[in-house]
Amino acid sequence: MRDPSVEGSIEVAAKKLITAVGLCPERRDAHGVLAQLGALVDVHSAMVHYLRTLELSVAHDELWAKSAVSVFDYFQFPTAPDGPQHDVPEWWNDAALKAMATTCKEVLPECEWRAVRMHATILGAPVYPRCRWESKCSWGSHPRTPHELRAAAESYSQLNKLVAQARNGLFPMGPEDKYLVELPDTGIKAHIALGLQCRRLAERLENEPPPLE
């Protein structure tokens, strides 16, 4: 059941931020917070502010990282019934996303499960069945090192640990964290399987003979 007092508080805060953005369109912090508030109501409108936050970011801080993860989720794991309504940004490619995923996981706290999922998905892309950023490319042209594949496997394990914490009431839940408690057992098993595939591919790559020069 929705709490009218909470919705009213969010609406008041959003109106103040909209005013702030209107007075100073270059206020990165206002765009970032407005995006997080708006994501609870209209993910398409929120995406405008997430993308703007990234454009205005100079340093890779938590606000940048949360915006980056949200943009990745919007295009890779769309939740809206009508799918993404925005064009992918210019940096939507494997090299940029791989660097972004690594930085986001380093910058954000360990409990930021979406950054963990992003890291696992991107670094483990050769074994992931639905990569929306390289659908027309062969992973032979976008390889992963054994180290990257093992890092992806670790992230899948970490993601399952966060799911377990949420199920046991040990996770600081917010409205955007319902994925953790709603994920079925088949989802947990899928994470385990993907992690194993990453480790096996890493071992296979390490055992391959070096290319002839």
Separation between Cα atoms, residue 51 and residue 87, nearest integer Å:
11
Q: Is the four-CA dihedral 96, 97, 98, 100 of positive or negative sign? A: positive
The 8 Å CB, 24+ separation contacts for 20-29 are 21/49, 26/56, 28/52, 28/53, 28/56, 28/57, 28/63, 29/63
Closest by Cα among 141, 140, 98, 100 to 123: 98
Q: Which amino acid is at 136?
A: K
CA 32: distance to chain centroid?
15
Residue 151 has what pLDDT?
98
Residue 34 has what pLDDT?
72
Separation between Cα atoms, residue 54 and residue 72, nearest integer Å:
12
CATH for 1-87 (1.25.40, 3.40.720, 3.10.110, 2.40.320)? 1.25.40
Alpha helices in 77-184 (DSSP H): 94-107, 113-123, 146-167, 178-182
Q: Report the 10 Å Cβ neighbour count for 141.
A: 8
Alpha helices in 3-127 (DSSP H): 4-23, 28-38, 43-56, 62-76, 94-107, 113-123
Query: Is the pLDDT assigned to residue 1 strictly greater than 70?
Result: no
Please indicate whether residue 207 or residue 8 has the higher confidence score (pLDDT): 207
Asked whether the beta carbons of 45 and 38 are under 8 A apart, the reply is yes
Query: Poorest-confidence range of 130-139, 142-151, 169-178?
Result: 130-139
Asked whether the beta carbons of 20 and 27 are under 8 A apart, the reply is yes
Backbone angles phi, psi at 108, to 5 degrees: -85, 155
Residue 213 has what pLDDT?
63
pTM confidence score: 0.84
Residue 39 has what pLDDT?
66
- Give the confidence band of 25 by pLDDT, cuts at 50, 70, 90: low
- pLDDT tens for 148-200 read 999 999 999 999 999 999 999 998 888 889 899 999 999 999 999 999 999 99
- pLDDT tens for 67-108 read 999 999 999 998 877 778 889 999 999 999 999 999 999 999
